[in-house]
A and B are shown apart, each in its own frame.
Chain A
C-alpha cells in the first residue's frame, strides 16, 4: 500500500538529509588517536597524572566512576533499580508461556551445576579487584546475573527464585543504591562533601570495596529479576 511506501521514501530522504551534516561535522572533529587532541589534554590529562593517588585506585576508570564522578554512578545504579521497578510495575498478568520447557539433558544439567560456583567466584574476583585490574561493580554484576540466569535456565526458574525469599530479593536489588547512599551520607562528616570518599587510603579502600560489592550484587540481582519478569515468574 502506498502509505507505507511513502513513509519509507520520506524516512529515506530524512536520513539522507541528516547524513550529510553528520558526516561533514564528524570530519571536522580532531582525528581520533592524536595525543594532543583536546580530549586528552584537558581533564583526562589531569586524571592520568595524579588520578591514581587522589582516587586511590590504579584502574582510573573505577577511580572516575566511584570517586570523581560519583553522582553519575549513583544515578546509574538508580537507573538499574528503576528499570527493574518499571518492569515489575508494567508486566502484565505474566505471560502464560511461563511453563518450563522440557528439562535439559543430564549432561547440561551436570555441567551447569559444576560450573555454577566457579562463575560465582570469578564474578566476585572481578568485583573486588575493580580498582587494580580492569573490572568493577558493573562487570561483576553482569557476570553474577548471567550465572543466575544460566542456573534458572538449567534448574528451572522457581528453584532459583526460591533461593532467596521474595522480601529480601528487593533489598538485594536495591543494594547498589543503598551502598551509595550510605557512602554519600558518610562523606558529609568525613570529607565535608556529599559523595566524598575519605583521604585515609585504608578507609577509602574499604568504602570502595563496599561500593563495588553493592553495585555488583545489586546489578546481578536486577538482571536476574528482569529475566524472571520477562519469563513470567515472580508475579506472585
Chain B
C-alpha cells in the first residue's frame, strides 16, 4: 500500500482541498467543522506515515506532477526534510482538537468554519513547502501558509492582534519578495527552476549573482524563521494570536523557514562555494545572540505567552547555531531539535491557552496556585518546561547535546558555553513558572474559582508532554534517521 506513488502530491493537496471545502460545506454549523478538520488532519498524518515508511525502506523518491519531465514540469521530492510533515500533521491535529472549546469562545460563531479552513490550508501549504523540489513552487506554498498564518493571527478579538498581524504581514511579504527576487536571479543564471538541476548548474560557482541569490534566499528564510535581528515580529504575533494558532506558529511555521534554509544550502552546493562560509558563520553568531537574547527576554516577561514566544526565539537560535557549525552531528542535532522543540513548544502554548481560557488572566503572577485547581494542565506545562530546559532523558537534551558536540568537533568552544548558559536561563524561567503554579498561594479570585479545562483541552497537552519524554528516549534513532539528509546537504563535513 505504501508503494502507491500518488501519496506524495496528495500530502499537500488533501489538506488544502479539505480546508477549502470546510466553509463550503459547514458555513453555519459551529461544531462539525472541528470534527471535519481533525479527520482531514488525521488522514494527512496517515499519508505522511505511508511516505515515511517508503522513505525508510527505499530512500528518497520523487514524483513528477502531471507526468512531465522534471525540468519542464514540477517535481516533488520526499526526503528527511519532507518527513517533518508527519509531526506537523499530528501537531496540527492536536491543536485542532484543542481549539474545539477554545475557538467557540474567542471567535464569532459564523467565522468558526473560516478558522478551521485557514488552519487546514496552513497545514497544506506547509506540507507542500516541505516536499516540493521546485524553486517557484517553494515560493507559492510559502505564500499559502504565510497568508493563512497572517489571517489566523488576526482572528483574535483584541485590537493588538490586528496590529501584530499587520507587522507580521509586512515583514513576511518583504521576505517573500526577497525569495522571489532570488528565484528570478537563479532562473536568469541557470534557466531552470528545479532545485537539483539548478544545483548542478550552479556547482561551486562563486560568481557575484550566485552570492546575491544565496544572500536573498537566506535573508528571506531567516525572516520567516525569526532569526535574531529580524525576529521582532514574532513576540507580538504569538502573544496576540489565539493559543492553538501560536502553538502552530511557534512549532511549525517558524520551522518552515529553517527547512527553506536547508533547501537553499542544498541548492548552493555542499559548502564549497565561496559565499557559503561567511553565511554559515553569520548564522552561527546570530543564532548564539538569538539564543541568549531570547532566553534573557523570556526571563523578564510578565505575560505567559510573550515568555513562550521569546523562548521560541531562543530555540530557533539553537537550531541556527547547529546549522552554522556545519558539522554532521551539529546539523543532525539541529534538525532533531527542530522536531523536539515543535512538540514541546506546542504543548506549552496549548497549556497556556487552557489556563488563559479558564481564568482569563495572562500575567504569570496572576496564575499563582493554579497547580491545585487545574492539575492536569499545570502538570503538563511543568513537565514540558523541564523538558524544554534540556534535562536529560527528555527531548530538549538530545538536540542540545549533539549541537554542543558538533561545536567541539568544529573547534569552537564558545557555542558550548552559550548552550549551557541558555539552558540554565531557560531552566530559570521554567522554575519561575513552576514556582508560581505550585508553590504560591492563589493571588486572584478567578484562579481560586477556576476549574480544570475540558478534556479536549488538557488531553492534547498531556499527550504532547508524554511525547516530549518519548522523543528524548528515541533520540539516537532519530539522529540516525536524519543522518543521510545531513550528508546530502553538507556533503563531506568541512
Contacts and interface: CB of A to CB of B under 8 A. Distances in A.
Q: Do chains A and B touch in the complex (CB under 8 A)?
A: yes
Interface in A162-191: 167, 170-171, 174, 177-178, 181, 184, 187-188, 191
Interface string B167-188: 0000000000000000001011
A29 B191 CA distance: 12
B191 A195 contact: no
B208 A28 contact: yes
B6 interface: yes
Nearest to A47: B72
Contact of A79 (B9, B140, B192): B140
Given A29-B189, A71-B65, A81-B20, A43 B72 contact: yes
Contacts of B209: 25-26, 28-29
A65 to B, nearest CB: 12
A86 B147 contact: yes
Contact of A29 (B16, B188, B215): B188
A125 to B, nearest CB: 27
B411 interface: no
A82 B151 contact: yes
B68 A68 contact: yes
Given A29-B209, A39-B188, A71-B137, A85 B151 contact: yes
A170 B27 CA distance: 9
A25 B212 contact: yes
Contact of A82 (B13, B121, B136, B162): B121
The residue among A46, A85, A170 with the most chain B CB atoms within 10 A of its own CB is: A85
* Chain B interface bracket (under 10, 10 to 19, 20 to 34, 35 or more): 35 or more
Interface string A37-62: 11111111011000000000000000
A138 interface: no
A89 B9 contact: no
B74 A71 contact: yes
A82 B128 CA distance: 15
Contacts of A191: 66-67
B23 interface: yes
Interface stretch (B110-118, B283-291, B308-316, B378-386): B110-118
A78 interface: yes
B17 interface: yes
* Chain A interface bracket (under 10, 10 to 19, 20 to 34, 35 or more): 35 or more
Contacts of B83: none
Given A42-B190, A79-B147, A89-B155, A193 B118 contact: no
Contacts of B192: 42-43
A22 interface: yes
Contacts of B23: 85, 170
A193 B209 CA distance: 36
Contacts of A167: 27
A16 to B, nearest CB: 16
Interface of A: 21-22, 24-30, 37-44, 46-47, 67-72, 74-76, 78-79, 81-83, 85-90, 92, 167, 170-171, 174, 177-178, 181, 184, 187-188, 191-197
29 contacts: A21-B208, A25-B212, A27-B208, A29-B185, A29-B188, A30-B188, A38-B188, A43-B192, A43-B193, A46-B72, A47-B72, A68-B72, A69-B74, A75-B143, A78-B16, A78-B124, A78-B144, A79-B143, A82-B144, A82-B148, A86-B150, A90-B155, A174-B21, A193-B64, A193-B67, A194-B6, A194-B9, A194-B65, A195-B66
Interface of B: 6, 9-10, 13, 16-17, 20-21, 23-24, 27, 64-68, 71-74, 76, 111, 114-115, 117-118, 121, 124, 128, 132, 134, 136-137, 140-141, 143-144, 147-148, 150-151, 154-155, 162, 165, 185, 187-193, 201, 207-209, 211-212, 215
Given A89-B155, A194-B6, 19 more contacts: A25-B208, A29-B188, A30-B189, A43-B72, A43-B191, A67-B66, A68-B73, A69-B136, A69-B137, A72-B140, A86-B148, A86-B154, A88-B111, A90-B155, A90-B162, A170-B27, A191-B66, A194-B13, A196-B67
